[in-house]
């Protein structure tokens, strides 16, 4: 058996007759932070949805600890240890900050994360706990979305475009907090449009292009030219 916590092999995904992923081979080791980059429509979000059961895929194409989890219902996948911070945050607008965080505990596994620990990490969430989530700034709402995912005590945290719509200074604050989030060997996959940020925070990078992996490698080893070719398909 490989040392990977999670892997996909030949992962294909479609929306009706329209195929979005064409055989993605992906590996994630315990404690590793991997970034996925790629242009709009490359298939990054579809990949995240396929991992979390929001897009149906064949069982054997996604494995966690070597066991197939592809196509399981999303709640079951959370119970097995995967949690998603979705693109656009998707908070429950009618709920308070604390109620949103507690929604993440519906499929709670045993582990270090609870409200107290989250409030210690992000004191602003304790301060705003009883406020409607919609009254928070975009960056604060992103912290709620991250906190909600952590409440299930995931082994693998999947973050889809954390920086979407946020100011650069806020994006930096959020990425600065990631090492504090990635505790006890948690593994993280981020989808990130900002290539420089992706290279800075990750150990390895996968570049997607038109539903395929166009480049894969250690973040520090990839050159700007290699990434441009893989990202835009220019030769
Ligand atoms: P972005 O950065 O714009 O979010 P992405 O890399 O995440 O792009 P996806 O959203 O995964 O790309 O889209 C991959 C392909 O699947 C695109 O061709 C897109 O049009 C298509 N697609 C995505 N969602 C749906 C859907 N719900 N129904 C039909 N096609 C879809």
CATH number assigned to the domain comprising residue 14: 3.40.50.300
Q: How far apart are the first and last CA of the chain?
A: 38
Average pLDDT for 97-118? 84
pLDDT tens digit sequence for 184-205: 789 999 999 888 889 999 999 9
| Ligand 1 centroid, distance to 45 Cα (angstroms) | 7
pLDDT at 165: 82
The answer to the question of residue 56 being in a domain is yes
**What is the DSSP code string of 141-166?**
HHHHHHHHHHTT--SEEEEE-TTTT-
Q: What's the structural domain count of the chain?
A: 1
How far does the centroid of ligand 1 lie from the alpha carbon of residue 190, in Å? 17
Among the listed residues 102, 82, 101, 92, the one whose alpha carbon sits nearest the alpha carbon of residue 5: 82
**Structural domain boundaries enclosing 59:** 4-89+152-232
Indicate whether 111 belongs to any domain: no
In a domain, 119, yes or no: no
Nearby residues of 120 by Cβ (< 8 Å), 6 or more positions away: none
Does 28 map to a domain? yes
Is residue 116 very low, low, confident or very high in pLDDT (cuts 50, 70, 90)? Answer: very high
Q: Which residues line ligand 1 (CB under 6 A)?
A: 15, 18, 20, 38, 40-46
Q: ipTM of the assembly?
A: 0.96
Query: Under a CB-based contact definition with an 8 Å cutoff, are residues 184 and 112 in contact?
Result: yes
Mean pLDDT of 153-161: 92
**29 found inside a domain:** yes
CB 95 within 8 A of CB 132: yes
Distance 120 CA to ligand 1 centre (A): 36
What pTM value is reported for the model? 0.92
Pocket perturbation via mutation, ligand 1, pick of 16, 18, 230, 232 by most ligand atoms within 8 A of CB: 18
Compute the average pLDDT of residues 62-72: 94
- Asked whether residue 87 carries a pLDDT value surpassing 90, the answer given is no
**pLDDT class of 92 with cuts at 50, 70, 90:** confident
The dihedral formed by the CA atoms of 120, 123, 125 and 128, expressed in degrees to the nearest 10: 130
């Amino acid at each position: 058996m490989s040392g990977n916590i999670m892997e996909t092999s030949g992962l294909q995904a479609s929306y009706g007759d329209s195929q979005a992923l064409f055989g993605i081979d992906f590996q994630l080791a315990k404690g590793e932070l991997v970034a996925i980059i790629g242009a709009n429509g490359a298939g990054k979000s579809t990949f995240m949805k396929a991992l979390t059961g929001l897009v149906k895929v064949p069982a054997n194409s996604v494995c966690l600890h070597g066991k197939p989890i592809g196509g399981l219902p999303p709640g079951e996948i959370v119970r097995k240890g995967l949690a998603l911070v979705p693109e656009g945050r998707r908070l429950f607008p009618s709920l308070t900050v604390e109620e949103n965080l507690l929604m993440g505990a519906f499929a709670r596994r045993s582990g270090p994360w609870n409200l107290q620990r989250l409030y210690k990490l992000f004191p602003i969430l304790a301060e705003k706990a009883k406020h409607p989530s919609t009254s928070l700034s975009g960056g604060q709402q992103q912290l709620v979305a991250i906190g909600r995912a952590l409440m299930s005590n995931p082994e693998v945290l999947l973050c889809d475009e954390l920086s979407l719509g946020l100011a650069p200074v806020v994006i930096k604050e959020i990425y600065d907090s990631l090492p504090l989030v990635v505790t006890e060997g948690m593994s993280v996959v981020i989808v990130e449009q900002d290539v420089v940020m992706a290279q800075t925070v990750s150990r390895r990078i996968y570049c997607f292009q038109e539903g395929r992996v166009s480049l894969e490698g250690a973040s520090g080893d990839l050159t700007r030219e290699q990434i441009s070719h893989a990202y835009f398909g220019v030769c």
